Amino acid sequence: MIPPQEASVRRREIEDKLKQEEETLSFIRDSLEKSDQLTKNMVSILSSFESRLMKLENSIIPVHKQTENLQRLQENVEKTLSCLDHVISYYHVASDTEKIIREGPTGRLEEYLGCMAKIQKAVEYFQDNNPDSPELNRVKFLFERGKESLESEFRSLMTRHSKVVSPVLILDLIGGEDDMEGQDDMTLEHLSESVLHDVIRISRWLVEYGRNQDFMNVYYQIRSSQLDRSIKGLKEHFRKSSSSSGVPYSPAIPNKRKDTPTKKPVKRPGTIRKAQNLLKQYSQHGLDGKKGGSNLIPLEGRDDMLDMEIDAYIHCVSAFVKLAQSEYQLLTDIIPEHHQKKTFDSLIQDALDGLMMEGENIVSVARKAIIRHDYSAVLTVFPILRHLKQTKPEFDQVLQGTAASTKNKLPGLITSMETTGAKALEDFADNIKNDPDKEYNMPKDGTVHELTSNAILFLQQLLDFQETAGAMLASQETSSSATSYNSEFSKRLLSTYICKVLGNLQLNLLSKSKVYEDPALSAIFLHNNYNYILKSLEKSELIHLVAVTQKTAERSYRDHIEQQIQTYQRSWLKVTDYISEKNLPVFQPGVKLRDKERQMIKERFKGFNDGLEELCKIQKAWAIPDTEQRDKIRQAQKTIVKENYGAFLHRYASVPFTKNPEKYIKYRVEQVADMIERLFDTSA
């Protein structure tokens, strides 16, 4: 049970809380009443605002609509005035532009093109809106006249500013390929920047607005003429230079060229000149045969003019590639892309046809010369063919996109040259084998036959053109091995060919040697020729090429040379047999010789003396051009004769076989040696 005191306290707390709650409730009631009053006031204000806004809207909307209509009417009036001004302007185009169109675009191209744009728009307007208007005919006439003036200006600019490239500049352009100093590639400026800009603007206008392609024909005709004249000018430059101190640098023989365009180019000897000089050198040193002795036409008939033509043609080929590349670069700026290849094809035709025709003429000349057995003529084909094959990748790149007939021109010329060259090589080998034995053409002193010197000289020229000659021979092969053609195959073919020529030459020399009645002279003849062949092979390194298929060739020639020396030495047996010990009388010292024995000794001395004098007289006129071989043969013969004659003299000089010993003992051993020393020396 709660005590009375605590109950009284609890009641008091509850009464306090109740009083507080009543106060709070009273506050809330007052607040709600105020809120209701505020709400009523706000509703009243909003209602009043809505009423006023509705009145304003009813007043403004009609005004706005009226204003909008007025603005639309104003815009229509302005547009109508603008259209009228625009239409009226087309009627003034003809009068505004006629003077400029009549005077032409020269010197004011941009202004002229601006007038043409106005005229074109006028034409389009009248065609669409008033095709029967007389103004249409007038602006059409002005447009056509303006287009013709632009075409004429294009032709005039191209004609006046397209210049022939000077030969020296072309030579610098070609020579730049070998400049290893890292200089920028040299380029040609066919047209100045301002002229090129005008030409490009006109061409683009003619394509886009003029609907005209005739200017492309004008372009290629003018540029084709300049290209052709540039190459012909280079060739003419060579002709003029051939009589002066120098022939321009040749790309067929790589060389750094640092000459400026004002410097004289350096003279470069060609293949034919090299052969010519070698022949002259051999002739001066007595290494080749006497005049005649072969129906092969000697190479020395060639002159510098042929060399000039070869160098000129090689230069012209390189010039064509460089100039054609430059022309294509220029063309891409002026001619529309889809017409570039066709226009370029037409542009290069004259120059390319000229080169191909000249190449075919060279082949034709070579063919005719080969028919005459002038096989040196094929040497004109070698440097040209080599250069054409070296240049072919650039040719193919330049001609990319041209017609098939254009692309096939160079391969056709290369094939023609290879076929002609291969025919010449084979005919040359056959002619070496079949060269007739003409007694009156044989060298009387047994020296080197002209057939030998010419054959070796011809083969030596192949060293400079091994790949070219090998390709010629390979082009005629039909075997399966030829289909897998490579440099090693080419080398083996050339080696086989050289061995064939040398074999044919050896057979022919053996046949020719039989013309000599004296076997000793025949041996000297073969010795000289074999020795000349061997020394020439070694000197020119032909021996290494021969060794590709004939490992024992060098030893074989040395054996042949030694065999001929031994054959020659047998010619002295008829001299030394008189003084050999066989069949000599045997006698005792102090015993008187019988008449028969004395007569035998006399005959031996006389036979030796007569044989010695006869051989020395005959063989003195013979020749051995090689000093080393001449000394070797003399020394060997002196040793044999001196030993035999010395022993013979020692045995019989003191024997009383005659009352006149000086009649039979005519020569001392030293005198005999001196006589042999003068053999093979026509100047002694």
* pLDDT tens per residue across span 60-119: 888 777 778 878 877 787 676 566 555 666 777 878 888 888 888 998 899 999 998 888
Residue whose C-alpha is closest to residue 446's, from 566, 622, 678, 620: 622
The stretch 574-589 carries a mean pLDDT of: 75
Residues 554 and 531 sit within 8 Å (Cβ to Cβ): no
The stretch 178-183 carries a mean pLDDT of: 44
pLDDT at 426: 92
Residues 87 and 128 sit within 8 Å (Cβ to Cβ): no
Residue 100 token pair: 């400029």
Residues with Cβ within 8 Å of 30's Cβ and at least 6 positions away in sequence, in order, are none
Q: pLDDT for 629-649, tens place per residue?
A: 999 999 999 999 999 889 888
The stretch 432-444 carries a mean pLDDT of: 82
pLDDT at 245: 45
Question: How buried is residue 513: exposed, middle or buried, by Cβ count under 10 Å (0-12/13-18/19+)?
Answer: buried
The stretch 426-436 carries a mean pLDDT of: 89
Rounded Cα distance between 348 and 330, Å, is 13
Rounded Cα distance between 665 and 645, Å, is 11
pLDDT at 51: 83
Residues 293 and 450 sit within 8 Å (Cβ to Cβ): yes
Q: Is the pLDDT of residue 414 over 60?
A: yes
How far lies 24's CA from each of 15, 29, 31, 32, 164, in Å? 14, 9, 11, 13, 117
pTM assigned to the model: 0.72
The DSSP symbol for 282 reads H
Residue 368 token pair: 């005719």
How far lies 456's CA from each of 113, 235, 375, 512, 606, in Å? 73, 33, 13, 17, 46
Q: pLDDT for 466-476, tens place per residue?
A: 888 988 888 87
Q: pLDDT for 394-405, tens place per residue?
A: 999 999 989 999
Residues 225 and 349 sit within 8 Å (Cβ to Cβ): no
Q: Is the pLDDT of residue 609 over 80?
A: yes
Q: pLDDT for 321-368, tens place per residue?
A: 999 999 999 999 999 999 999 999 999 999 999 999 999 999 999 899
pLDDT at 304: 62
Residue 579: band (very low, low, confident or very high) from pLDDT cuts 50, 70, 90: confident
The stretch 162-182 carries a mean pLDDT of: 75
The rounded percent of the chain whose pLDDT value lies above 90 is 43
Q: How many CB atoms lie within 10 A of CB 464?
A: 16
Residue 174: band (very low, low, confident or very high) from pLDDT cuts 50, 70, 90: confident
Q: Is the pLDDT of residue 130 over 90?
A: no
